[in-house]
Amino acid sequence: MENLLELTKSLTTIPSPTGYTTEIMSFLEEELGKIGYDTQQNRKGSLIVTVPGQNTEQQRFITAHVDTLGAIVRAIKPDGRLKMDLIGGFKYNAIEGEYCTVHTQAGKEITGTILMHQTSVHVYQDAGTAERNQSNMEIRLDEKVTNAEETQALGIEVGDFISFDPRTEITPSGFIKSRHLDDKVSAAILVAFLQKIKEENIELPYTTCFLFSNNEEIGYGGNSNIDPRVVEYVAVDMGAMGDDQQTDEYTVSICVKDGTGPYHLGLRNHFVALCKAHDIPYKLDIYPFYGSDASAAMRAGADVKHGLIGAGIEASHAYERTHRDSIEATYRLVETYLLSPMG
């Protein structure tokens, strides 16, 4: 668990908004290479590890995504500050006051802070009531700029990616709080499992494709490179918490239905049976405004049984938090599932 938490922390510190994932894919490729795996990237930039198993005619496919929410430079304002366009499904209030980094085409990194234009209560009467939207939110750069020309002279252009400071912290009480736990917790879980089966020379019952996808936050990622022999497709992604939700920070969440429809009943029941048989704490839940790489694969026409499990994440798409208990329960279900016969 300590290694898993540290790997999660390492992953959160690598900027990877959707469309800007080369660095984190290189990191994963290097880490998996150290363990002894050959990897390949598809044309979209996702990383694939195929692990041979006893049964090659029936296969499994499991995925976690490493792309995150972020933004892109929409315009340079007359005063030198930046207007943003959002990447992924979140609200401006979730990033107000956050530190950020602008990644220029030339490779330069320029820090800043995301603020309301009307932030100063000593100047703006509507500082607390003005709508948090694209028109009112801006990036204050940590550079001496007073006009658009000075900002452009730094090398900043429309289309440059913007990442948010993760502020990752692991507390003595077992919580990990950070941006981008969705879905870097799950990616760390898959890497940890791949490490274990290599170190202990474990043979999987089925040939299994592990895919680290890089486009999930914009609605697709793991809907290609699916071998026609794949029977079961599992997305490991965050469990959503809130009113009317059973998901918590201490168990593994098994999704019954998300915004796209129900997940495969037989596979869901198989997860539940495994949890009961192996004393893995779990919760069944519905995520009403949610989609995963598994549901994207279904929309793309994949002929598979699809499932979704994950650690419970508090405050999704904002400054998130989970507990090591939930990470451990999720890891145990992933391990138990991949080492067991199909349901």
Look at residue 177 in the predicted model and tell me its pLDDT.
98
Q: Find out whether 182 is annotated in a ligand binding site.
A: yes
> Which of 29, 98, 138, 216 is labelled catalytic?
216
Asked if residue 196 and residue 315 are part of one domain, the reply reads yes
- Asked if residue 81 is part of any domain, the answer here is yes
- Judge whether 292 and 235 are in contact, CB under 8 Å: yes
Please say which residue of 114, 131, 164 terminates a domain: 164
- Asked if residue 287 is part of any domain, the answer here is yes
- Asked if residue 323 is part of any domain, the answer here is yes
DSSP 136: T
Rounded to two decimals, the pTM is 0.97
Asked if residue 135 and residue 91 are part of one domain, the reply reads yes
CATH number of 200's domain: 3.40.630.10
CATH number of 122's domain: 2.40.30.40
- What are the per-10-residue average pLDDT scores of the chain (343 residues)? 94 98 98 96 95 98 98 98 97 97 97 97 94 97 98 98 98 98 98 97 98 94 89 98 98 97 98 98 97 94 97 98 98 98 91
- Asked if residue 87 is part of any domain, the answer here is yes
Asked if residue 312 and residue 187 are part of one domain, the reply reads yes
Domain coverage including residue 319: 2-68+180-338
216 in catalytic set = yes
Asked if residue 193 and residue 48 are part of one domain, the reply reads yes
Structure tokens, 26: 């290189």
Write the pLDDT tens digit of every residue in 165-183: 999 999 999 999 999 999 9
Q: Find out whether 317 is annotated in a ligand binding site.
A: yes
| Domain total of the chain | 2
Q: Where are the alpha helices (DSSP H) in the chain?
A: 2-12, 22-35, 148-153, 181-199, 265-277, 293-299, 324-338
Q: Find out whether 237 is annotated in a ligand binding site.
A: yes
Structure tokens, 208: 């299994």
- Judge whether 320 and 314 are in contact, CB under 8 Å: yes
Q: What is the mean pLDDT of the chain?
A: 97
From the number of C-beta atoms within 10 Å of its C-beta (0-12, 13-18, 19+), residue 128 rates as exposed
Asked if residue 143 and residue 113 are part of one domain, the reply reads yes
Look at residue 221 in the predicted model and tell me its pLDDT.
77
Asked if residue 307 and residue 234 are part of one domain, the reply reads yes
Asked if residue 94 and residue 77 are part of one domain, the reply reads yes
Asked if residue 241 and residue 264 are part of one domain, the reply reads yes
Asked if residue 19 and residue 109 are part of one domain, the reply reads no
Asked if residue 186 and residue 42 are part of one domain, the reply reads yes
Look at residue 168 in the predicted model and tell me its pLDDT.
98
Asked if residue 260 and residue 245 are part of one domain, the reply reads yes
The secondary element (H helix, E strand) that includes residue 53 is: strand 53-65
